[in-house]
């Protein structure tokens, strides 16, 4: 397998000048983008705008990182479109609300950038897919000459980590994402689907905003954590491998990296990466708090065969589930609207979960703007986690 090159550039703050310098250093250290992007091309910057959050909440790609990448691309003579398909309805009104709250509207005005408000979609067929050979994507992303993935380094309740690859799930429009969660509740299938989408979109470049990331109950209810880095490269799986490594985690324990390894897209090993800039040791966050939710299917293949019949019983006992913190619930219905299996109902103006229908995709926790959905571990999982 060919050795990949990834830039790991130290960047301590979101000061606009410092971010521009870090982004330029990252791209230039990899040989630049002139071979990938030529004058007149339309480049879609696919950023992470999960929901309406202020930039300082560290849930979304920071506006100054977006501005820095856009400036570099415009300097190559290309046209830039910035956008995403956040959770919930994919409409002009919804996009405007998210762009405004996340600081993207103001940034776009200052930098004279075009924001995507085209909510049309495109059904595509991908013969090379493992799970999802036919799926729906945002038309503006599909029609762009090139796509750059601009993720945010965060923990995630289902996939444990979200970065360059998981960010591309936002190429799937609005509530269609919830449908895919429902169709693929098993983590191995869901992560294969994520890799299918990333392979189809084929970003020409990937950047992860890790100046500040999110630890704990990501991707929206965790705690901002300073990391101090801009991470970039041409292979999104290699970029994620570096990003995961600086959070003191073995990349091959992360589902999307493992699927990439299984499909020979990248080994998932830091030893197979030529890192430009800082070293992982220089930026390593040893006490980074990981996501609380992990796939109990990890039991398979790691216990003696004599105990394999007990796996279903143990997995049932080692469960996690979303729980509504009723005092925090404001009755906004965001979780109700996005729930793939319709497991949430509104009772006296508060959300209530029907666990007989819940598939534990944690979409409710992702989109709750009031942090009213918490992830609860079973007593057995709490015990073994100590």
Identify which of 299, 286, 254, 72 has the alpha carbon closest to the alpha carbon of residue 156: 254
> Does residue 95 register a pLDDT over 70?
yes
> Distances from the Cα of 361 to the Cαs of 17, 106, 128, 339, in angstroms?
39, 33, 25, 9
> Does residue 152 register a pLDDT over 80?
yes
> Does residue 316 register a pLDDT over 70?
no
* Residue 133: count of CB within 10 angstroms of its CB: 13
| Rounded to 5°, angle at Cα 65 from 207 and 116 | 85
> Does residue 298 register a pLDDT over 50?
no
Identify which of 152, 177, 174, 173 has the alpha carbon closest to the alpha carbon of residue 162: 152
> Does residue 273 register a pLDDT over 60?
yes
Question: In percent, how much of the chain has pLDDT > 70?
Answer: 90
The whole-number average pLDDT for the span 211-223 is 94
- pLDDT in the model for residue 349: 94
**Which class for 117: exposed (0-12), middle (13-18), buried (19 or more C-beta within 10 A)?**
middle
Q: Where does the pLDDT of residue 42 fall: very low under 50, low under 70, confident under 90, or very high at 90 and above?
A: very high
Q: List Cβ neighbours of 122 (8 Å cut-off, separation of 6 or more).
A: 136, 137, 138, 139, 142, 143
Question: Alpha helices of 274-310 — where are they, by DSSP H?
Answer: 280-283
- pLDDT in the model for residue 256: 97
The whole-number average pLDDT for the span 92-96 is 96
- pLDDT in the model for residue 341: 86
Q: Where does the pLDDT of residue 278 fall: very low under 50, low under 70, confident under 90, or very high at 90 and above?
A: very high
Rounded to two decimals, the pTM is: 0.84
- pLDDT in the model for residue 296: 42
Name the least confident of 9-23, 157-171, 259-273, 348-362.
Answer: 348-362
Q: Where are the beta strands (DSSP E) in the chain?
A: 4-10, 42-47, 79-83, 114-115, 121-125, 134-138, 146-156, 160-162, 205-215, 223-233, 273-277, 320-324, 344-347, 350-353, 373-377
> Does residue 83 register a pLDDT over 60?
yes
User: 386 versus 39: which is more confidently predicted?
Assistant: 39
Q: Where does the pLDDT of residue 137 fall: very low under 50, low under 70, confident under 90, or very high at 90 and above?
A: very high
The whole-number average pLDDT for the span 271-282 is 98
The whole-number average pLDDT for the span 200-209 is 98
28: its two tokens: 């230039």
- pLDDT in the model for residue 297: 45
Task: List, in sequence order, every residue forming a beta bridge with 108; answer none if it has no partner.
Answer: none
Q: Where does the pLDDT of residue 384 fall: very low under 50, low under 70, confident under 90, or very high at 90 and above?
A: very low
User: 151 versus 316: which is more confidently predicted?
Assistant: 151
> Does residue 133 register a pLDDT over 60?
yes
| Rounded to 5°, angle at Cα 92 from 51 and 59 | 15
Strands 205-215 and 223-233: antiparallel
Phi–psi pair at 41, nearest 5 degrees: -70, 155
- pLDDT in the model for residue 301: 43
- pLDDT in the model for residue 174: 86
Instruction: Judge whether 137 and 173 are in contact, CB under 8 Å.
Output: yes
CATH number of 296-385: 3.30.70.20
- pLDDT in the model for residue 69: 98
The whole-number average pLDDT for the span 288-300 is 62
The whole-number average pLDDT for the span 230-241 is 98
Domain with residues 4-283, CATH architecture: 3-Layer(aba) Sandwich (3.40)
> Does residue 192 register a pLDDT over 50?
yes
The whole-number average pLDDT for the span 35-47 is 97
> Distances from the Cα of 134 to the Cαs of 4, 172, 207, 235, 339, in angstroms?
30, 12, 27, 23, 22
- pLDDT in the model for residue 385: 42
User: 313 versus 27: which is more confidently predicted?
Assistant: 27
- pLDDT in the model for residue 44: 98
* Residue 288: count of CB within 10 angstroms of its CB: 18
Q: What is the location of CATH 3.40.50.11440 in the chain?
A: 4-283
Identify which of 163, 166, 204 has the alpha carbon closest to the alpha carbon of residue 45: 204
Q: Where does the pLDDT of residue 157 fall: very low under 50, low under 70, confident under 90, or very high at 90 and above?
A: confident
Q: What is the location of CATH 3.30.70.20 in the chain?
A: 296-385
- pLDDT in the model for residue 294: 47
Strands 223-233 and 4-10: antiparallel
The whole-number average pLDDT for the span 311-330 is 75
The whole-number average pLDDT for the span 19-43 is 97
339: its two tokens: 């729930």
* Residue 379: count of CB within 10 angstroms of its CB: 8
């Amino acid at each position: 397998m060919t050795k990949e090159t990834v830039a790991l550039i130290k960047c301590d703050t979101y000061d606009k000048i410092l971010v521009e310098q870090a982004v330029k250093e990252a791209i230039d250290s990899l040989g630049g983008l002139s071979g990938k992007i030529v004058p007149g091309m339309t480049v879609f910057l696919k950023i992470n705008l999960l929901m309406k959050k202020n930039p300082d909440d560290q849930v979304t790609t920071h506006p100054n990182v977006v501005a820095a990448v856009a400036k570099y691309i415009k300097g190559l003579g290309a046209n830039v479109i910035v956008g995403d398909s956040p959770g919930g309805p994919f409409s002009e009104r919804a996009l405007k609300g998210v762009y405004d709250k996340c600081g993207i509207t103001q940034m776009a005005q200052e930098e004279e950038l075009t924001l995507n408000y085209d909510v049309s979609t495109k059904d595509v067929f991908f013969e090379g897919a493992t799970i999802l050979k036919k799926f729906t994507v945002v038309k503006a992303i599909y029609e762009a000459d090139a796509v750059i993935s601009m993720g945010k380094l965060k923990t995630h309740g289902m996939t444990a980590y979200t970065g360059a690859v998981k960010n591309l799930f936002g190429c799937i429009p609005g509530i269609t994402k919830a449908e895919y969660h429902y169709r693929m509740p098993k983590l191995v299938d869901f992560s294969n689907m994520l890799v299918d989408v990333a392979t189809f979109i084929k970003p020409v470049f990937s950047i992860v905003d890790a100046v500040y990331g999110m630890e704990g109950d990501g991707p929206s209810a965790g705690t901002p954590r300073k990391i101090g880095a801009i991470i970039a490269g041409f292979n999104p799986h290699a970029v994620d491998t570096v990003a995961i490594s600086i959070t003191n985690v073995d990349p091959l324990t992360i589902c999307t990296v493992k699927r990439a390894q299984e499909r020979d897209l990248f080994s998932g090993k830091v030893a197979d990466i030529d890192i430009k800039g800082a070293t992982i040791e220089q930026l390593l966050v040893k006490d980074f708090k990981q996501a609380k939710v992990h796939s109990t299917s990890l039991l398979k293949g790691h216990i003696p065969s004599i105990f394999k019949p007990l796996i279903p019983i143990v997995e049932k006992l080692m469960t996690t589930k979303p729980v509504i913190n009723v005092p925090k619930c404001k009755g906004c219905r965001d979780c109700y609207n996005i729930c793939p299996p319709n497991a949430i109902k509104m009772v006296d103006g508060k959300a209530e979960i029907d666990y007989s229908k819940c598939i534990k995709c944690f979409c409710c926790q992702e989109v709750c703007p009031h942090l009213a959905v918490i992830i609860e571990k079973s007593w057995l999982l709490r015990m073994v986690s100590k």
